[in-house]
């Protein structure tokens, strides 16, 4: 089916914000790796695309102990940056495990953070029941295929898994998102950026209509920190996570001085596992402690018949990642 839309581009941020602010049915277009697929499938139907790929939002700059990343930086550019390799190695791992090099050269950091769920019913507009795509219609996944669906942060209205690997590592680092609107700019901690579905699965984040992510600011790991991102999937070649864990620790001898833990592939949003961090902080690094942390991280899980395996899988993924970063063998 042909669905006409207007296309325009600008290299001026203020113009882009003004255009989007004046037209609620307009959408920004950057790398397009998700958006164009969804438009072809009829899931997204903007009347107007504002191409922002020429906006001056490509910089990567170290600012003190933070890394400032323009939202139009590609995934490959960020993965290849020496500061990321040296001070945020698990962010690099998350990027490299996300997609093929072809996609990484197109997809932007801002777009990655806004990527939509891979729930098959969301992406099939011939399926009537999808609260995320069509509010109030129901959820086909709850009674249908939900092997890859979330077990954390779900509601009776939506159990779709968040797909980003990058966001999992960034949320572990307390990254901050910079956003701009025609009315002004603000910052949002990534831990408060994403919304669990609750009664409004179609509202996925804190952005207002017309608001644009302009940058992400990421605190660097302290000297001596150890980190890793482990992603478990059905196949090794660029599949979405069944479970993943982003972990960064600072050790004082064999005692865990501080820990950052986040999970992917198992929740409706990139999942910061604060309960696991509490178990780990101040404890001696040993497998029994890691298992207790993994139990705490998944304590609130609500598995369904087809995705119950994700609970022990995520726990084992977290334990393995903790073993890797601490050097404690099983």
Binding of residue 121 to ligand SF4 (CB under 6 A): yes
Is residue 152 within 8 Å of residue 263, measured between CB atoms? Answer: yes
Query: How far apart are the C-alpha atoms of 70 and 67, rounded to whole Å?
Result: 10
- Please return the burial class of 187, using the count of CB atoms within 10 Å of its CB with bins 0-12, 13-18 and 19+: exposed
For the residues of 305-329, what is the DSSP string, one character each?
TTTTTHHHHHHHHHHHHHHHHHT--
Residue with tokens 């669905």: 3
Q: What tokens does 229 get? A: 């991102």
Cβ nearer to ligand SF4, comparing 178 with 310: 310
Least Å distance, CB 38 to ligand SF4, is 12
- CB atoms near residue 8 (< 10 Å): 13
Query: How far apart are the C-alpha atoms of 286 and 279, rounded to whole Å?
Result: 12
Binding of residue 122 to ligand SF4 (CB under 6 A): yes
Binding of residue 131 to ligand SF4 (CB under 6 A): yes
Query: How far apart are the C-alpha atoms of 134 and 125, rounded to whole Å?
Result: 9
Determine the interface stretch with ligand SF4 among 23-31, 53-61, 136-144, 163-171 (rule: CB under 6 A): 136-144
Binding of residue 119 to ligand SF4 (CB under 6 A): yes
Binding of residue 271 to ligand SF4 (CB under 6 A): no
Least Å distance, CB 117 to ligand SF4, is 5
Cβ nearer to ligand SF4, comparing 121 with 193: 121
Binding of residue 130 to ligand SF4 (CB under 6 A): yes
Question: What are the CA-CA distances from residue 300 to residues 25, 50, 160, 303 (Å)?
Answer: 37, 41, 16, 10
Residues 193-212 that bind ligand SF4 (CB under 6 A): 201
Least Å distance, CB 206 to ligand SF4, is 19
Cβ nearer to ligand SF4, comparing 159 with 301: 159
State the number of binding residues for ligand SF4 (CB under 6 A). Answer: 14
Query: How far apart are the C-alpha atoms of 299 and 225, rounded to whole Å?
Result: 27
x/- letters, 68..107, toward ligand SF4 (CB under 6 A): ----------------------------------------
Binding of residue 244 to ligand SF4 (CB under 6 A): no
The single residue among 50, 60, 160, 266 that binds ligand SF4, judged by CB under 6 A, is 160
Residue with tokens 């949320």: 171
Binding of residue 43 to ligand SF4 (CB under 6 A): no
Which residues here bind ligand SF4, judged by CB under 6 A? 117, 119, 121-122, 130-132, 139-141, 158-160, 201
């Amino acid at each position: 089916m042909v669905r006409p839309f207007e296309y325009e581009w600008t290299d001026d941020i203020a113009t882009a914000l003004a255009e989007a602010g004046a037209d609620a049915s307009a959408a920004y277009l950057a790398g397009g790796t998700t958006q164009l697929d969804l438009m072809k499938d009829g899931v997204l139907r903007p009347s107007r695309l504002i191409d922002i790929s020429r906006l001056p939002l490509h910089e990567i700059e170290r600012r003190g102990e933070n890394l400032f990343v323009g939202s139009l930086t590609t995934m490959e550019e960020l993965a290849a940056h020496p500061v990321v390799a040296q001070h945020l190695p698990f962010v690099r791992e998350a990027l490299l495990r996300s997609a093929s090099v072809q996609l990484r050269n197109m997809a932007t950091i801002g777009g990655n953070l806004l990527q939509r769920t891979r729930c098959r019913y969301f992406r099939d507009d011939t399926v009537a029941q999808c609260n995320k795509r069509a509010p109030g219609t129901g959820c086909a996944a709850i009674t249908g295929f939900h092997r890859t669906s979330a077990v954390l942060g779900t509601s009776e209205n939506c159990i779709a898994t968040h797909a980003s690997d990058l966001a999992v590592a960034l949320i572990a680092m307390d990254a901050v998102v910079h956003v701009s609107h025609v009315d002004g700019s603000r910052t949002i901690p990534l831990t408060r950026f994403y919304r669990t579905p609750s009664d409004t699965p179609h509202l996925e984040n804190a952005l207002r209509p017309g608001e644009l992510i302009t940058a992400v600011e990421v605190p660097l790991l302290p000297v001596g920190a150890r980190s890793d991102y482990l992603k478990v999937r059905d196949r090794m070649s660029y599949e979405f996570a069944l479970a993943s864990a982003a972990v960064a620790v600072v050790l004082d001898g064999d005692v865990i001085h501080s820990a950052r833990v986040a999970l992917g592939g198992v929740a409706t949003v990139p999942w910061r596992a604060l309960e696991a961090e509490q178990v780990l902080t101040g404890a001696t690094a040993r497998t029994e402690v890691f298992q207790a942390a993994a139990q705490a991280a998944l304590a609130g899980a609500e598995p369904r018949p087809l995705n119950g395996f994700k609970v022990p899988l995520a726990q084992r993924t977290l334990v393995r990642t903790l073993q890797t970063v601490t050097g404690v063998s099983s």
